[in-house]
Amino acid sequence: MATDQTAASTHRTDVLADRNDRIRRTLDHIRNDSTDSVDAVSTFTAQEYTDPAIARRERDAVFGAVPSIVCHGSEIPKPNDFITMRMPRNNVIIVRQRDHSVKAFVNLCRHRGALLEEQEKGRCRLFSCGYHRWSYDTDGSLRAITRDNTFGEIDRTRYGLVELPAQERHGFVWMVDDADAEIDVAGWLGTEMDGILAGYGMDRLVAARSEGFDEPVNWKIMQDAFLDGYHIQYAHPNTAAKHIHTNVMAVEDFGRHARFVAPRKTIDKYLEEPPAPDEDLSPYITETHFLLPNSTLLRQPDHFELLTFRPHPTDPARCRMEMRLVVPTLEDSGMDEERWNRIWDKNWKILLAVLHQEDFPLLRSSQAGMASADAGGMLLGRNEVINQIFHRELRKLVS
Ligand code: FES
Ligand SMILES: [Fe+2]
């Protein structure tokens, strides 16, 4: 036990030292007007944002092949709690089982194909179809065929809901949007990112606020914008740019996923006089994780923000963004309920205002720009490291 504790505290010290090294690198960058960079500028085309064949390939080779986060487990806390969503390939029901595991099903009645569950979220003992009232257990099995004395004999075991691979890990529910696929979230994350996420204990947190936005923008334009440290001063002069340095990043490339620290302006006090070697510098940064294929996880001093981006099932020029504020539970926070709600409401409103007033208008106009037939080639700079990683890894998945 004592050895375990020593190991755990050594691990914490290592994590802290490692983070401090990266933060010191951002201090050097601020002094030198530099940032981490990749070897070369890369190019891309407008077709990647408009071509239905490319969009289809992404739905199958990306969302139908690898795990992506669909919600936080706290959104379906009890057995029979469910949420529904439109994934790129399937309409989906995610439902908590009696043994507390999660399952995902195609949201479709196996009789004549009606959408089985119309509500976005809820709790039920049975999924019951509105058309001819067939019903299914929350474990997916076909429970009842109405007027079955007239319907005819079928093998009921073959007509349960179609199951999709889903798994809960690090507090989030992940799925692969293909019934024939398998899921291994730890394997997909790899040792480094799996270890990083494990260290955050997000399974003990709750999604205090969440909302989805259907935007007339390709999902990659959206994903790129929320990994972008280069636009802050120009797109967010009176909001984010007041707090965060523009175009300064210390990046770790884990070969598939990545993370970076961006310094807050409060770090400037250390430009002249360097911090003590053992001072915890994490209050002076934001730390952003890119989880391939479609998530940005921001680690703030006292909470996390998760942003996910999913293609529309048919239209390359549309997507759904979801934003979640993942925070300590009311009990763990030590706050009273009124204060807990007030704090997260305030955070949430600030995030929503920046999205709706600053990011979304720019991103809609990017999509409009991409509609030109003779757009010409476009560029990602050496300084746009995380975007380069996203595009590099996406290319591997679709090729
Ligand atoms: S389509 Fe569902 S019961 Fe007929
Ligand atoms: Fe932005």
pLDDT digits (tens, 9 = 90+) for 31-51: 999 999 999 999 999 999 999
Instruction: Give the helix/strand (H/E) hosting 57.
Output: helix 52-58
Mean pLDDT score across all residues of the chain:
96
Instruction: Compute φ and ψ for 156, nearest 5 degrees.
Output: -65, -25
User: Torsion angle, CA of 365/259/302/238, rounded to 10 degrees?
Assistant: -30
2-61+184-398: in CATH 3.90.380.10? yes
Tens of pLDDT, residues 88-104: 999 999 999 999 999 99
Both tokens of 373, joined, read 């037939």
- In one-letter notation, the amino acid at residue 244 is I
Do 2-61+184-398 and 69-169 show the same overall fold? no
Q: What confidence score (pLDDT) does residue 4 get?
A: 60
pLDDT of residue 1: 43
Residue of 93, 111, 146 to test ligand 1 pocket, by largest number of atoms within 8 Å of CB: 111
Centre of ligand 1 from the C-alpha of residue 137, in Å? 15
Q: Which residues line ligand 1 (CB under 6 A)?
A: 109, 111-112, 114, 129, 131-134
Task: Identify which of 183, 140, 185 has the alpha carbon closest to the alpha carbon of residue 165.
Answer: 183
Q: Sign of torsion, CA 227 293 295 56?
A: positive
Residue 235 has pLDDT above 80, yes or no: yes
Q: Given the CA of residue 129, which atom of ligand 1 is nearest to it?
A: 2
Domain-wise residue ranges, the chain = 2-61+184-398, 69-169
At residue 20, the pLDDT reads 87
SS3 (DSSP) at 319? strand
List the structure tokens of 188. Answer: 């997909």
Amino acid 13: pLDDT: 73
Ligand 1 pocket test, candidate residues 109, 146, 159, 162, most atoms within 8 A of CB: 109
Query: For the residues 326-346, what does the mean pLDDT come to?
Result: 97
Q: Report CA torsion sign: 19, 24, 27, 31.
A: negative
Task: Among 11-15, 87-91, 302-306, 376-380, name the one with the lowest average pLDDT.
Answer: 11-15
Of the candidates 203, 194, 227, 176, the one whose C-alpha atom is nearest the C-alpha of residue 359 is: 227
The pLDDT of residue 341 is above 90: yes
**Token pair recorded at residue 170:** 């690090």
Nearest residue (by CA) to ligand 1, atom 1, is 112
Rounded-to-integer distance, Cα 95 and Cα 80, Å = 6
**Cα of 125 to ligand 1 centre, how many Å?**
18
Residue type, 126: L
Q: Which amino acid is at 5?
A: Q
Nearest CA to ligand 1 atom 4: 132
Q: Is 215:363 a contact under the CB 8 Å cutoff?
A: yes
Q: Which residues neighbour 208 within 8 Å (Cβ) at sequence distance 6 or greater?
A: 303, 325, 326, 327, 340, 344, 348
Q: Give distance in angstroms: CA of 46 to centre of ligand 2.
A: 21
pLDDT number for residue 278: 86
**How much is the average pLDDT of 276-289?**
92
Angle at 76 between CA 75 and CA 82, to 5 degrees: 115
What is the per-residue pLDDT across 264-273, written as a single tens digit (0 to 9) for each? Answer: 999 999 999 9
H helix or E strand, kind and range, residue 304: strand 304-311
| Long-range CB contacts for residues 126-129, cutoff 8 Å, separation at least 24 | 127/93, 127/161
The pLDDT tens digits of the residues spanning 124-163 come to 999 999 999 999 999 999 999 999 999 999 999 999 999 9
Q: Which helix (H) or strand (E) holds 345?
A: helix 337-354
Q: Ligand 1 mean position to 144 CA, how many Å? A: 11
Q: Give distance in angstroms: CA of 163 to centre of ligand 1.
A: 18
Kindly tell me if the per-residue pLDDT of 2 is higher than 60: no
Q: Which CATH architecture has domain 69-169?
A: 3-layer Sandwich (2.102)
Between these two residues, 13 and 252, which has the higher pLDDT value? 252
Ligand 1 atom with the shortest distance to the CA of 114: 1
Which ligand has the nearest atom to the CA of 107?
1
**Residues contacting 223, CB < 8 A, separation 6+:** 294, 296, 309, 390
**Residue 52 burial (10 A CB sphere; 0-12, 13-18, 19+):** exposed
Centroid of chain to Cα 319 = 14
Tens of pLDDT, residues 251-262: 999 999 999 999
Most distant CA pair in the chain, distance: 85
pLDDT of residue 6: 65
Q: Which ligand places an atom closest to the C-alpha of 235?
A: 2
Atom of ligand 1 nearest to the CA of 112: 1
Ligand 1 centroid to 70 CA: how many Å?
A: 27
Does pLDDT of 63 surpass 90?
A: yes
Residue nearest (by alpha carbon) to ligand 1 atom 3: 132
The CA distances from residue 96 to 39, 78, 99, 179, 381, in Å, are 46, 6, 8, 18, 44
How far is Cα of residue 44 from the mean position of the Cα atoms in its chain? 24
Which tokens sit at 254? 């884990």
d(CA 145, CA 156): 9
Please give the number of the atom of ligand 1 that sits closest to the Cα of 134.
Answer: 3
Query: Which residues line ion ligand 2, judged by CB < 5 Å?
Result: 359
Spatial contact of 85 and 94, defined as CB atoms under 8 Å apart: yes
- Contact (Cβ atoms closer than 8 angstroms) between residue 94 and residue 166: yes
Ligand nearest to the CA of 117: 1
Q: 258 with 389: CB under 8 angstroms?
A: yes
Ligand with the closest atom to the CA of 236: 2
Asked if 182 and 281 touch (Cβ cutoff 8 Å), the reply is: no
- From 131, 148, 151, mutation site for ligand 1 pocket: most ligand atoms within 8 A of C-beta: 131
Supply the DSSP string of 80-107, one letter for each residue. TEEEEEE-SS-EEEEEE-TTS-EEEEES
Q: Determine the distance separating the centroid of ligand 1 and the alpha carbon of 63, expressed in angstroms.
A: 28
Whose atoms come closest to the Cα of 360: which ligand?
Answer: 2
Q: Please report the atom of ligand 1 found closest to the CA of residue 133.
A: 3
167 Cα to the center of ligand 1, angstroms: 28
Tokens 């407008």 -> residue: 46
